[in-house]
């Protein structure tokens, strides 16, 4: 490994830090920052309110951010399992997404995120959200 590669690898956030940053950037409606975590083809998502497997990409986030909806998403209880260029992050997603004229309801959802390492950094491949008591 060259010194340049070692420096860039150490500057890359681990998948748990990427998870926290991903949700913070969604809350900030920062499309460029969110897109850094997305592969070109986007990622899949399973959510309690849908029976379908969702597919989200930068275009979906652009639409959300332009919709005026209120966003307040945070994470807690992060746990990381690394498998080389693949990682699982589990934890609790706090907050929610509300209508433009209404603050988001506060919710607690357990999540599992599957990340893979790409030359550009960690990329989100799948997000599974489940209700938590």
Count of alpha carbons within 13 angstroms of residue 90, beta-carbon side: 5
Judge whether residue 3 has pLDDT over 80: no
CATH 3.10.450.50 fits 3-131, yes or no: yes
> Domains of the chain: which residue ranges?
3-131
Beta-sheet pairing, 107-118 with 121-131: antiparallel
Q: What is the pLDDT of residues 32-72, one digit of tens each?
A: 999 999 999 999 999 998 999 999 999 999 999 999 999 99
By CB neighbour count within 10 A (0-12 exposed, 13-18 middle, 19+ buried), where does 41 fall? exposed
What is the structure's pLDDT at 81? 98
Q: Name the band, by pLDDT with cuts 50, 70 and 90, for residue 105.
A: confident
What is the structure's pLDDT at 2? 47
By CB neighbour count within 10 A (0-12 exposed, 13-18 middle, 19+ buried), where does 50 fall? exposed
Work out the average pLDDT over 8-29: 87
H/E stretch holding 65 = helix 58-66
């Amino acid at each position: 490994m060259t010194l340049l590669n070692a420096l860039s690898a150490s500057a890359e956030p681990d998948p748990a830090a990427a998870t926290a940053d991903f949700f913070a950037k969604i809350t900030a409606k920062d499309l460029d920052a969110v897109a850094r975590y997305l592969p070109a083809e986007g990622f899949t998502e399973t959510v309690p309110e849908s029976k379908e497997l969702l597919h989200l990409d930068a275009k979906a986030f652009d639409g959300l951010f332009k919709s005026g909806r209120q966003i307040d998403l945070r994470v807690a209880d992060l746990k990381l399992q690394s498998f080389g260029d693949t990682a699982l992050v589990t934890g609790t997603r706090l907050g929610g997404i509300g209508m433009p004229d209404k603050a988001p309801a506060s919710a607690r959802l357990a999540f599992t995120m599957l990340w893979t390492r790409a030359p550009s950094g960690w990329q989100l491949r799948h997000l599974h959200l489940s209700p938590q008591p």
